[in-house]
Amino acid sequence: MNSTSKTAAADVLSPDLYDYDFENDPIATLGRLRREDPVHWSRHGFWYLTRYDDCAMVLKDPARFSSAAAGWGGGNPLATTATGGGQSKTEQGLSRTLAQSFNQMDAPDHTRVRALVVSAFSRRIIEDRRDRIQAVIDELLDAAGAKGRFDAITDFAFHVPIIVAGEIIGIPGEDREAFRAAFERTAALMAPKRSEESWAQALEAGRWVGRYVRDLIAERRRGPRDDLISALIAAEDEQGALSDAELSSAISTIYTAAGTTTERFISSGLFLLLSHADQWRALVADRALVGPAIEEILRFHHPTQSTSTNRRCTVDVELRGKTLRAGDTVRVGLGAANRDPEVFADPDRFDIARRPSQPALSFGAGPHFCIGAALARFEARLAIEAIVGRWPGLRLVTEAPVKDRRRHDRYSEIIVAVD
Ligand code: HEM
């Protein structure tokens, strides 16, 4: 380990990247890191990258930067290596199963599983569901709007991906809430063990989810339906390529990846638009701006803004005068890269008419590029179009949302008024 360069970096600037204050408002800290210490050795024992070029380079170089067992900062409880420490054999077994998620694999396993998921998760499947997604959005907005004043998160954005992704995957509507709640409880497996009780509850929830998904797969094997599970089984039968554990893990990964990211995308997007009155007015006047507005929302406020996507070095790598050792964890700061002034002019200005010359890294890059990018964009587009169409005079009541201390990287509330 190159302890000299790591220590030197820590002397210059040593933010606590796990601290609530950082999570609540990461932009200034990330900006300083990008300027002063772009290849930063965190006191928590990982590298944190903040420049666009470095982030893109790492994502596109799986040979030197592996996804295997790297942990996933994007907020996937089932795909993230449990950090509880002192695990029993059963706990280790569960962690291993969870870590089989294909987003934490390298080629050739990653390529094989991903190809099947992509084929079962095509743009056509999404487009085919346009009417249903629109109906979900309309029903939620009818109910929320009837209140006069509503929370864009709990009354709306929170439910959109849970219903949409749940239906695409094939989770029956009557189990939707139980499945979601159990999934949420497994999130404790990502964090250091707080108490025996919460850890045991999270493990139990993990087992419940595992059993539930296995049963669902067995049911779809007996009688396929028009859903992702059946499509994956069909692809598997054609190509004989997925083990049961891989299939079940792929489903869990997709469900997790689709949820809070999309919720934050829609709710913080609405907040950004409403809190920039000129931009909101421009969108109301010209609905064609909704496409670029969605891209700008993703760039300006990455749904996992304060966190990152992780890789592990397979070999020693020299980067901006630092030596990243084989085995070191590297966190790719997607939100930070999206504010890099070398790529985005005046990056801290929210501008829905922006036409960047390079894509934001919001959905990653390279072999692990987000499989749900088209779906997330589609849901956000339909949601924002519906809201602008219904309530061009929508008002923001919450002026400065803060992150919920209990819920990772998520705002507590964003209240809006329709009257
Ligand atoms: C705004 C919403 C979303 C954002 C910002 C987002 C972001 C990302 C990012 C950055 C990655 C790459 C991770 C890496 O390189 O290690 C990724 C991967 C992934 N995303 Fe998303 N995502 C979103 C929505 C979705 C949705 C709706 C789905 C599912 C329908 C989804 C499914 C996945 C899957 C399965 C992967 C793993 C791909 C692989 O490893 O090959 N995501 N996402």
Share of the chain above pLDDT 70, in %: 86
pLDDT confidence of residue 87: 42
Going by C-alpha positions, the residue among 409, 412, 416 that lies closest to residue 401 is 412
Q: Which residues have C-beta within 8 Å of that of residue 77, sequence separation ≥ 6?
A: 183, 186, 187, 189, 190, 256
265 CA to centre of ligand 1 in angstroms:
12
Beta bridge partners of 47: 41, 330
Q: Is 364 in the pocket of ligand 1 (CB under 6 A)?
A: yes
pLDDT tens by residue, 24-63: 889 999 999 999 999 999 999 999 999 999 999 999 999 9
pLDDT tens by residue, 239-289: 665 777 778 888 888 998 888 899 999 999 999 999 999 999 999 999 999
pLDDT confidence of residue 84: 33
User: Does 4 score more than 60 pLDDT?
Assistant: no
* Residues 395 and 278: beta-carbon distance below 8 Å: no
Summary mean pLDDT of the chain = 86
pLDDT tens by residue, 198-217: 889 999 998 999 899 999 99
Q: Is 84 in the pocket of ligand 1 (CB under 6 A)?
A: no
Going by C-alpha positions, the residue among 81, 104, 91, 69 that lies closest to residue 207 is 91
Ligand 1 binding pocket mutation candidate from 370, 377, 382 (most atoms within 8 A of CB): 370
Tokens of 185: 């409880």
Gyration radius of the chain's alpha carbons: 21
75 CA to centre of ligand 1 in angstroms:
10
pLDDT band at 163 (very low <50, low <70, confident <90, very high): very high
Q: What is the DSSP letter of 263?
A: H
Q: What is the rounded CA–CA span in Å between residue 264 and residue 414?
A: 11
pLDDT tens by residue, 298-355: 999 988 766 679 999 999 999 999 999 999 999 999 999 999 999 999 999 999 999 9
Q: What is the rounded CA–CA span in Å between residue 91 and residue 69?
A: 16
Phi then psi for 49, rounded to 5 degrees? -100, 140
Ligand 1: residue whose CA is nearest its atom 42: 372
pLDDT confidence of residue 76: 37
Going by C-alpha positions, the residue among 128, 137, 52, 139 that lies closest to residue 332 is 52
pLDDT band at 12 (very low <50, low <70, confident <90, very high): low
Residue 364 CA: nearest ligand 1 atom is 10
pLDDT band at 120 (very low <50, low <70, confident <90, very high): low
367 CA to centre of ligand 1 in angstroms:
11
* Residues 384 and 290: beta-carbon distance below 8 Å: yes
pLDDT confidence of residue 100: 67
Q: What is the rounded CA–CA span in Å between residue 97 and residue 94?
A: 5
pLDDT band at 290 (very low <50, low <70, confident <90, very high): very high
Beta bridge partners of 224: none
pLDDT tens by residue, 55-79: 999 999 999 999 996 654 433 333 3
Q: What is the DSSP letter of 225?
A: -
Average pLDDT value for residue range 128-146: 96
Q: Which residues have C-beta within 8 Å of that of residue 25, sequence separation ≥ 6?
A: none
Ligand 1: residue whose CA is nearest its atom 36: 370
Going by C-alpha positions, the residue among 384, 360, 383, 385 that lies closest to residue 373 is 360
Q: Collapse the DSSP code of 318 into the 3-class scheme (helix H, G, I; strand E, B; otherwise coil) and give the result.
A: strand
pLDDT tens by residue, 74-96: 333 333 333 333 344 444 444 44
- Lowest mean pLDDT of 5-19, 84-98, 141-155, 405-419, name the range: 84-98
Going by C-alpha positions, the residue among 319, 315, 309, 325 that lies closest to residue 364 is 309
Q: Is 58 in the pocket of ligand 1 (CB under 6 A)?
A: no
User: Does 1 score more than 60 pLDDT?
Assistant: no
Ligand 1: residue whose CA is nearest its atom 17: 370
253 CA to centre of ligand 1 in angstroms:
9
Q: Is 165 in the pocket of ligand 1 (CB under 6 A)?
A: yes
Sequence-distant contacts of 210-216: CB under 8 A, at least 24 apart = 210/94, 210/97, 210/248, 212/175, 212/179, 212/182, 213/248, 213/251, 213/252, 214/244, 214/248, 216/170, 216/171, 216/251
Share of the chain above pLDDT 90, in %: 61
**Residue 108 preceded by cis peptide, ω within 30:** yes
Q: Can you tell me which residue has the tokens 């964003």?
A: 414
Q: What is the rounded CA–CA span in Å between residue 200 and residue 143?
A: 37
Ligand 1: residue whose CA is nearest its atom 19: 370
pLDDT tens by residue, 378-407: 999 999 999 999 999 999 999 999 988 877
Q: What is the rounded CA–CA span in Å between residue 271 and residue 275?
A: 6
